[in-house]
Structure 1
Amino acid sequence: MNGGRPREPGNPPAMELAAVTGSAAFADAALEVVGVARHELALISVDLDRRLFGTEAFTDKLRSFILAHRRARLRVLVHDPVAAVRNSIRLVQFGRLLSSRIEFRAVPEERRKLREEFLIADERAVLYRSSPDQLEAKHYADAPMVARSHLREFEALWNEAVVAREMSTLGI
Protein backbone atom coordinates (compact mmCIF):
# COMPACT_ATOMS: atom_id res chain seq x y z
CA MET A 1 0.00 0.00 0.00
CA ASN A 2 1.26 3.46 -0.71
CA GLY A 3 -0.72 5.46 1.82
CA GLY A 4 -3.18 6.86 -0.72
CA ARG A 5 -0.54 8.67 -2.76
CA PRO A 6 -0.71 8.29 -6.52
CA ARG A 7 1.82 5.90 -7.96
CA GLU A 8 4.59 7.45 -9.99
CA PRO A 9 4.41 6.59 -13.69
CA GLY A 10 6.65 3.69 -14.67
CA ASN A 11 6.87 2.24 -11.15
CA PRO A 12 5.03 -1.02 -10.57
CA PRO A 13 2.70 -1.16 -7.58
CA ALA A 14 4.18 -2.59 -4.39
CA MET A 15 3.21 -6.16 -3.53
CA GLU A 16 1.10 -6.58 -0.45
CA LEU A 17 2.87 -9.40 1.42
CA ALA A 18 2.10 -10.69 4.89
CA ALA A 19 3.82 -13.50 6.75
CA VAL A 20 1.39 -16.11 8.04
CA THR A 21 2.37 -18.35 10.95
CA GLY A 22 0.41 -21.35 12.18
CA SER A 23 -2.65 -23.27 11.05
CA ALA A 24 -5.23 -20.79 12.33
CA ALA A 25 -3.56 -17.85 10.57
CA PHE A 26 -3.24 -19.91 7.37
CA ALA A 27 -6.95 -20.81 7.53
CA ASP A 28 -7.86 -17.13 8.03
CA ALA A 29 -5.66 -16.09 5.11
CA ALA A 30 -7.29 -18.78 2.93
CA LEU A 31 -10.69 -17.29 3.75
CA GLU A 32 -9.39 -13.85 2.74
CA VAL A 33 -8.10 -15.15 -0.59
CA VAL A 34 -11.41 -16.85 -1.37
CA GLY A 35 -13.21 -13.67 -0.31
CA VAL A 36 -11.49 -11.55 -2.98
CA ALA A 37 -12.03 -14.03 -5.83
CA ARG A 38 -14.54 -13.16 -8.53
CA HIS A 39 -13.76 -15.53 -11.41
CA GLU A 40 -11.38 -18.32 -10.56
CA LEU A 41 -9.68 -20.05 -7.67
CA ALA A 42 -6.83 -22.50 -8.13
CA LEU A 43 -5.85 -24.66 -5.16
CA ILE A 44 -3.05 -27.19 -4.87
CA SER A 45 -2.70 -29.21 -1.69
CA VAL A 46 -1.17 -32.47 -0.63
CA ASP A 47 -4.27 -33.74 1.17
CA LEU A 48 -6.65 -30.80 1.80
CA ASP A 49 -5.76 -30.55 5.49
CA ARG A 50 -9.05 -30.55 7.41
CA ARG A 51 -7.93 -27.69 9.68
CA LEU A 52 -7.50 -25.47 6.63
CA PHE A 53 -9.74 -26.64 3.82
CA GLY A 54 -12.16 -28.99 5.59
CA THR A 55 -13.86 -26.43 7.79
CA GLU A 56 -17.42 -25.26 7.49
CA ALA A 57 -16.17 -21.66 7.25
CA PHE A 58 -13.97 -22.47 4.24
CA THR A 59 -16.73 -24.39 2.46
CA ASP A 60 -19.24 -21.61 3.17
CA LYS A 61 -16.86 -19.01 1.73
CA LEU A 62 -16.35 -21.16 -1.38
CA ARG A 63 -20.10 -21.62 -1.71
CA SER A 64 -20.58 -17.85 -1.58
CA PHE A 65 -17.92 -17.36 -4.24
CA ILE A 66 -19.28 -20.03 -6.60
CA LEU A 67 -22.93 -19.00 -6.26
CA ALA A 68 -22.33 -15.24 -6.41
CA HIS A 69 -20.48 -15.23 -9.70
CA ARG A 70 -22.06 -16.85 -12.74
CA ARG A 71 -18.76 -17.94 -14.27
CA ALA A 72 -16.92 -18.69 -11.05
CA ARG A 73 -14.72 -21.75 -11.15
CA LEU A 74 -12.65 -23.71 -8.65
CA ARG A 75 -9.89 -26.10 -9.71
CA VAL A 76 -8.30 -28.31 -7.07
CA LEU A 77 -5.13 -30.38 -7.45
CA VAL A 78 -4.29 -32.91 -4.74
CA HIS A 79 -1.46 -35.36 -4.22
CA ASP A 80 -3.48 -37.87 -2.22
CA PRO A 81 -7.16 -37.96 -3.31
CA VAL A 82 -8.15 -40.60 -0.72
CA ALA A 83 -6.80 -38.52 2.18
CA ALA A 84 -8.28 -35.37 0.64
CA VAL A 85 -11.77 -36.90 0.63
CA ARG A 86 -11.33 -37.99 4.25
CA ASN A 87 -10.03 -34.57 5.33
CA SER A 88 -12.38 -32.27 3.42
CA ILE A 89 -15.62 -34.12 2.90
CA ARG A 90 -17.65 -30.86 2.94
CA LEU A 91 -15.60 -29.43 0.09
CA VAL A 92 -15.72 -32.68 -1.86
CA GLN A 93 -19.51 -33.03 -1.43
CA PHE A 94 -20.01 -29.43 -2.54
CA GLY A 95 -17.79 -30.09 -5.54
CA ARG A 96 -19.85 -33.13 -6.46
CA LEU A 97 -23.00 -31.01 -6.44
CA LEU A 98 -21.48 -28.39 -8.73
CA SER A 99 -19.17 -30.52 -10.86
CA SER A 100 -19.53 -28.17 -13.82
CA ARG A 101 -17.81 -25.41 -11.83
CA ILE A 102 -15.62 -27.33 -9.37
CA GLU A 103 -13.10 -29.83 -10.62
CA PHE A 104 -10.68 -32.08 -8.76
CA ARG A 105 -7.57 -33.64 -10.25
CA ALA A 106 -4.73 -35.75 -8.87
CA VAL A 107 -1.13 -34.64 -9.28
CA PRO A 108 0.75 -37.22 -11.37
CA GLU A 109 2.73 -39.72 -9.27
CA GLU A 110 6.10 -38.61 -10.64
CA ARG A 111 5.40 -34.97 -9.71
CA ARG A 112 4.35 -35.59 -6.10
CA LYS A 113 7.78 -34.79 -4.72
CA LEU A 114 6.83 -31.12 -5.17
CA ARG A 115 5.03 -30.39 -1.91
CA GLU A 116 4.15 -26.73 -2.37
CA GLU A 117 0.64 -25.70 -1.44
CA PHE A 118 -1.03 -22.58 -2.72
CA LEU A 119 -4.35 -20.92 -3.29
CA ILE A 120 -4.66 -18.32 -6.06
CA ALA A 121 -7.57 -15.94 -6.65
CA ASP A 122 -8.06 -14.30 -10.04
CA GLU A 123 -4.38 -14.00 -10.93
CA ARG A 124 -4.10 -11.51 -8.07
CA ALA A 125 -4.07 -12.89 -4.53
CA VAL A 126 -1.90 -15.82 -3.40
CA LEU A 127 -1.49 -17.86 -0.26
CA TYR A 128 1.66 -19.98 -0.48
CA ARG A 129 3.70 -22.36 1.65
CA SER A 130 6.58 -24.53 0.54
CA SER A 131 5.19 -27.70 2.14
CA PRO A 132 2.27 -28.80 4.33
CA ASP A 133 4.73 -29.33 7.20
CA GLN A 134 5.71 -25.66 7.24
CA LEU A 135 4.22 -23.44 9.91
CA GLU A 136 5.06 -20.32 7.92
CA ALA A 137 3.37 -19.17 4.74
CA LYS A 138 3.17 -16.08 2.58
CA HIS A 139 -0.03 -14.21 1.84
CA TYR A 140 0.07 -11.83 -1.11
CA ALA A 141 -3.15 -9.81 -1.04
CA ASP A 142 -2.41 -8.06 -4.32
CA ALA A 143 0.52 -9.40 -6.33
CA PRO A 144 -0.42 -10.17 -9.94
CA MET A 145 3.13 -11.12 -10.99
CA VAL A 146 3.50 -13.60 -8.12
CA ALA A 147 0.02 -14.96 -8.78
CA ARG A 148 0.69 -15.45 -12.48
CA SER A 149 3.97 -17.21 -11.73
CA HIS A 150 2.28 -19.69 -9.39
CA LEU A 151 -0.62 -20.06 -11.80
CA ARG A 152 1.81 -21.11 -14.55
CA GLU A 153 3.10 -23.86 -12.22
CA PHE A 154 -0.48 -24.84 -11.45
CA GLU A 155 -1.45 -24.95 -15.14
CA ALA A 156 1.50 -27.20 -15.99
CA LEU A 157 0.50 -29.67 -13.28
CA TRP A 158 -3.19 -29.35 -14.14
CA ASN A 159 -2.51 -30.32 -17.75
CA GLU A 160 -0.61 -33.43 -16.64
CA ALA A 161 -3.07 -34.39 -13.90
CA VAL A 162 -5.87 -36.93 -14.13
CA VAL A 163 -9.40 -36.59 -12.81
CA ALA A 164 -9.48 -37.57 -9.14
CA ARG A 165 -12.24 -40.19 -9.35
CA GLU A 166 -12.32 -40.55 -5.56
CA MET A 167 -13.44 -36.94 -5.35
CA SER A 168 -15.88 -36.82 -8.22
CA THR A 169 -17.95 -39.95 -7.70
CA LEU A 170 -20.44 -40.58 -4.96
CA GLY A 171 -19.11 -44.02 -4.15
CA ILE A 172 -22.57 -45.51 -3.71
Structure 2
Amino acid sequence: MIFNFSFKLLLADGEKQLCQSSLYKTYRVTTSIPVDVVWHRLINLADMSWHPLFVKTKLPQGLIPKPGLIFGVVTRLTPIPIRVFVENVRPRELLSIRLLAIPGIEQRITYQMESTLCGSYIAYSITLKGWLSPVIWWFIKPYSAKVASELVNAAAKSLP
Protein backbone atom coordinates (compact mmCIF):
# COMPACT_ATOMS: atom_id res chain seq x y z
CA MET A 1 0.00 0.00 0.00
CA ILE A 2 2.80 2.45 0.84
CA PHE A 3 4.63 1.60 -2.40
CA ASN A 4 1.58 2.38 -4.52
CA PHE A 5 1.02 5.63 -2.64
CA SER A 6 4.66 6.68 -3.09
CA PHE A 7 4.49 5.79 -6.77
CA LYS A 8 1.43 8.00 -7.24
CA LEU A 9 3.25 10.87 -5.57
CA LEU A 10 6.07 10.48 -8.06
CA LEU A 11 3.76 10.84 -11.04
CA ALA A 12 2.69 14.26 -12.28
CA ASP A 13 -0.25 14.47 -14.68
CA GLY A 14 -0.14 10.69 -14.95
CA GLU A 15 2.73 10.76 -17.47
CA LYS A 16 5.93 12.48 -16.35
CA GLN A 17 8.01 11.29 -13.45
CA LEU A 18 9.20 13.83 -10.92
CA CYS A 19 12.02 11.56 -9.76
CA GLN A 20 14.00 11.84 -12.96
CA SER A 21 17.13 13.87 -12.68
CA SER A 22 20.00 14.68 -14.97
CA LEU A 23 23.45 16.09 -14.59
CA TYR A 24 25.79 17.61 -17.14
CA LYS A 25 29.38 18.63 -16.43
CA THR A 26 32.26 19.65 -18.71
CA TYR A 27 35.95 19.79 -17.85
CA ARG A 28 38.35 21.66 -20.16
CA VAL A 29 42.11 21.67 -20.58
CA THR A 30 44.32 23.75 -22.85
CA THR A 31 47.68 22.32 -23.87
CA SER A 32 50.51 22.89 -26.32
CA ILE A 33 50.43 19.23 -27.41
CA PRO A 34 49.05 18.81 -30.96
CA VAL A 35 45.51 17.48 -31.32
CA ASP A 36 46.79 14.54 -33.40
CA VAL A 37 48.91 13.25 -30.52
CA VAL A 38 46.06 13.54 -28.01
CA TRP A 39 43.62 11.96 -30.47
CA HIS A 40 45.86 8.92 -31.06
CA ARG A 41 46.18 8.41 -27.31
CA LEU A 42 42.40 8.68 -26.87
CA ILE A 43 41.38 6.27 -29.63
CA ASN A 44 43.71 3.57 -28.33
CA LEU A 45 40.83 2.06 -26.36
CA ALA A 46 42.79 -1.11 -25.60
CA ASP A 47 45.14 0.94 -23.38
CA MET A 48 43.10 3.12 -21.05
CA SER A 49 45.76 3.08 -18.32
CA TRP A 50 45.70 6.89 -18.27
CA HIS A 51 41.98 7.01 -17.36
CA PRO A 52 41.38 7.61 -13.63
CA LEU A 53 38.19 5.51 -13.55
CA PHE A 54 38.79 2.71 -16.08
CA VAL A 55 41.26 -0.04 -15.20
CA LYS A 56 41.23 -2.09 -18.39
CA THR A 57 39.23 -2.74 -21.52
CA LYS A 58 38.52 -5.93 -23.39
CA LEU A 59 39.66 -4.92 -26.88
CA PRO A 60 42.49 -6.01 -29.14
CA GLN A 61 45.39 -3.61 -29.66
CA GLY A 62 45.09 -1.36 -32.70
CA LEU A 63 41.29 -1.46 -33.01
CA ILE A 64 40.03 1.97 -34.08
CA PRO A 65 36.68 3.02 -32.55
CA LYS A 66 33.76 3.30 -34.94
CA PRO A 67 30.10 4.02 -34.25
CA GLY A 68 28.34 0.87 -33.13
CA LEU A 69 31.35 -0.73 -31.43
CA ILE A 70 30.46 -2.35 -28.11
CA PHE A 71 33.16 -3.43 -25.67
CA GLY A 72 33.65 -4.15 -21.98
CA VAL A 73 35.55 -2.04 -19.49
CA VAL A 74 36.43 -2.69 -15.84
CA THR A 75 36.26 0.30 -13.50
CA ARG A 76 38.11 1.05 -10.28
CA LEU A 77 34.80 1.06 -8.41
CA THR A 78 33.55 -2.41 -9.37
CA PRO A 79 35.26 -5.57 -10.58
CA ILE A 80 32.26 -6.31 -12.79
CA PRO A 81 32.81 -5.24 -16.41
CA ILE A 82 30.35 -2.76 -17.86
CA ARG A 83 29.50 -2.38 -21.51
CA VAL A 84 30.49 0.67 -23.52
CA PHE A 85 28.84 1.68 -26.79
CA VAL A 86 30.62 4.02 -29.22
CA GLU A 87 27.99 6.49 -30.45
CA ASN A 88 29.84 9.00 -32.59
CA VAL A 89 33.36 9.46 -33.93
CA ARG A 90 34.68 12.45 -35.85
CA PRO A 91 38.43 12.00 -36.31
CA ARG A 92 40.52 14.53 -34.38
CA GLU A 93 37.36 16.29 -33.17
CA LEU A 94 34.92 14.14 -31.19
CA LEU A 95 34.47 10.75 -29.53
CA SER A 96 31.13 10.05 -27.88
CA ILE A 97 30.47 6.88 -25.87
CA ARG A 98 27.60 5.62 -23.77
CA LEU A 99 28.05 3.42 -20.71
CA LEU A 100 25.49 0.66 -20.36
CA ALA A 101 25.96 -0.16 -16.69
CA ILE A 102 22.70 -0.64 -14.81
CA PRO A 103 19.03 0.17 -15.27
CA GLY A 104 18.07 3.54 -13.79
CA ILE A 105 21.12 5.36 -15.10
CA GLU A 106 22.19 6.58 -18.53
CA GLN A 107 25.73 7.85 -18.82
CA ARG A 108 27.15 9.54 -21.90
CA ILE A 109 30.78 10.67 -22.18
CA THR A 110 32.04 13.02 -24.89
CA TYR A 111 35.61 13.98 -25.69
CA GLN A 112 35.96 17.06 -27.90
CA MET A 113 39.19 18.44 -29.32
CA GLU A 114 40.01 21.62 -31.13
CA SER A 115 43.25 23.06 -32.42
CA THR A 116 43.71 26.78 -31.77
CA LEU A 117 46.49 29.31 -32.20
CA CYS A 118 47.40 28.98 -28.54
CA GLY A 119 47.49 25.17 -28.59
CA SER A 120 44.96 22.38 -28.28
CA TYR A 121 41.68 22.60 -26.47
CA ILE A 122 40.42 19.32 -24.89
CA ALA A 123 36.95 19.03 -23.36
CA TYR A 124 35.57 16.07 -21.41
CA SER A 125 31.80 16.14 -20.90
CA ILE A 126 29.73 13.75 -18.86
CA THR A 127 25.95 13.52 -18.90
CA LEU A 128 24.06 11.43 -16.36
CA LYS A 129 20.33 10.81 -16.63
CA GLY A 130 18.02 8.74 -14.49
CA TRP A 131 16.93 8.48 -10.93
CA LEU A 132 20.30 7.04 -9.82
CA SER A 133 22.35 9.88 -11.30
CA PRO A 134 22.91 11.79 -8.00
CA VAL A 135 24.24 8.64 -6.34
CA ILE A 136 26.47 7.67 -9.26
CA TRP A 137 27.77 11.25 -9.53
CA TRP A 138 28.74 11.20 -5.86
CA PHE A 139 30.96 8.17 -6.57
CA ILE A 140 32.53 9.24 -9.88
CA LYS A 141 32.94 13.00 -9.40
CA PRO A 142 36.54 12.84 -8.06
CA TYR A 143 37.57 10.65 -11.01
CA SER A 144 35.72 12.71 -13.63
CA ALA A 145 37.46 15.90 -12.61
CA LYS A 146 40.83 14.38 -13.59
CA VAL A 147 40.04 12.76 -16.96
CA ALA A 148 40.93 15.60 -19.36
CA SER A 149 44.18 16.45 -17.60
CA GLU A 150 45.20 12.79 -17.36
CA LEU A 151 44.57 12.36 -21.10
CA VAL A 152 46.85 15.32 -21.84
CA ASN A 153 49.53 13.97 -19.45
CA ALA A 154 49.42 10.55 -21.14
CA ALA A 155 49.71 12.17 -24.57
CA ALA A 156 52.71 14.22 -23.36
CA LYS A 157 54.46 11.04 -22.19
CA SER A 158 53.97 9.46 -25.61
CA LEU A 159 55.80 12.31 -27.36
CA PRO A 160 59.32 11.41 -28.57
Q: Report which of the two has the higher share of helix.
A: 1
TM-score range, shorter chain: 0.3 to 0.5
Name the larger-Rg structure.
Answer: 2
Scaled by the length of structure 2, the TM-score of the pair is 0.34
More strand as a share of residues:
2
TM normalised by structure 1 equals: 0.32
